[in-house]
Amino acid sequence: MARENRWLAALALLGGLLFLSPALYSIAVSFQTAQSYYQGGFDPTLDNFIRAIGQYDFARYLLNSVIVSGLVTLIGLSLATMAAYAFARFDFPGGNLMFAATVATLMIPSHITLIPNYLSLARVGLLDSYAGLVLPAISNGFAAFFLRQYIKGIPRALDEAAYMDGARPIQVLWRVIVPIARPAILSMGLFIFIGEWNNYIWPLVAVGREDLYTLQIGLARLYKLNPGEGAVDWPLVMAASTITILPVLAGFLLIERHLVRGITMGALK
């Protein structure tokens, strides 16, 4: 029995590594000199990362990605938590309709909003700004839907007790609901952050100024910049791709369980 387990473990390890081998190999290449990459051998260097940051401003793109994803997460999560609490705990005229409109955003393909959002942000002069990147991304009902389901599962008696003590609804939300729902809120925060971090089409549409590029735009431009396939500086491109992947990868390894719970609960409820 123990031997069988060890075999299974080895097989799983091998299968997992094989599956991830494209990504792992690309990370390895990002630490290689161009010369050793094209001629064989392994000559470790940080030169590709230094060039990605020095020549191509990937530090700036990284900062932009952190700012944009951070703001979307912070604002989106706050608004979603408040709305979720109201949907879960209050019976008010129009509430069901608004909840349905919130849930429906999950099924509405986002491409239909691309052109109008571009036009309206252009009209108010918000293209090429952080606000232009952040604001449309808040219009997402997933977190509110998910948190509403979660809050419904919290016993109402806890709210009542707080009301007895003279708390107002916003205080009940902040002192009773938020502490209990913290794991779910955290999961949703990660979910929003990762989704926004990897967002490509909207920044591509909304931003033309290079100092506002996010990592995704910077990486795609760097790759497309190279004329013809033979001329691509692969180790440099792989270093840029590693910079793009690594923060989420590190976060993922820390909090995999929260993330998986968030995703599966959203799907099954």
Partner 1 sequence: MSTLTDPSAVPSGGRHSLFRAGLRRRATPYLMVLPLMGFIAAFTYIPIAASLNLSFREWDFLSPDKPFVGLDNYRLLLSSHEFWNALKVTTVFALISVPLRLLLALGIASYLVRETLPSRFLRGALFLPSVTSTVAIAVVFSWIFSTDYGLMNAGLQLLGAPKVMWLQDPQLALFVLILVNTWKQLGYDIIIYIAGLQAIPQELYDAAAIDGGRRRHVFRRVTLPLVMPTTYFLLVISVIDAFQVFTIVDVMTHGGPAGATDMLVNMLFRVGFTLFDIGTGSALAVLLFVLLIALALIKSRFLGRNIHYGS
Least separation in angstroms between residue 143's CB and partner 1 is: 9
Q: Distance (Å, rounded) from C-alpha 71 to C-alpha 65?
A: 10
Nearer to partner 1, 46 or 119 (CB): 119
Both structure tokens of 256: 């995999």
Amino acid at 235: P
Dihedral sign for Cα atoms in the order 28, 31, 37, 39: negative
Question: Any idea which residue has 């691509």 for tokens?
Answer: 232
- Tell the smallest beta-carbon distance from residue 110 to partner 1 (Å): 7
CA distances from 138 to 72, 79, 141, 193 (A): 6, 9, 9, 11
CA 129 to chain centre: 19
CA 139 to CA 257: how far, in whole Å?
A: 26
Q: Are 258 and 187 in contact (CB under 8 A)?
A: yes
- For residues 155 and 166, which CB has a smaller minimum distance to partner 1 in the complex? 166
Q: From CA 205, how far away is CA 31, in angstroms rounded?
A: 32
| Nearer of residues 74 and 135 to partner 1, judged by Cβ | 135
Token pair for residue 14? Answer: 């091998």
56 by DSSP, 3-state: which? coil
By beta-carbon proximity to partner 1, the closer residue of 209 and 224 is 224
Q: To the nearest whole angstrom, how small is the minimum distance from the Cβ of residue 126 to partner 1?
A: 12
For the CB of residue 107, give the shortest distance to partner 1 in the complex, in Å: 7
How many CA atoms lie less than 13 Å away from 266 in the CB half-sphere?
A: 21
d(CA 233, CA 226): 8
Q: Minimum Å distance from CB 221 to partner 1?
A: 10
Contact 193, 73 (CB under 8 A): yes
Cβ at position 138, least distance to partner 1 in Å: 4
Instruction: For partner 1, give the closer residue by CB, 79 or 180.
Output: 79
Cβ proximity to partner 1: between 45 and 113 the closer is 113
Which of residues 6 and 182 has its CB atom nearest to partner 1 in the complex? 6
Cross-strand pairs, 32: 44
CB of 264 to partner 1, least distance (A): 4
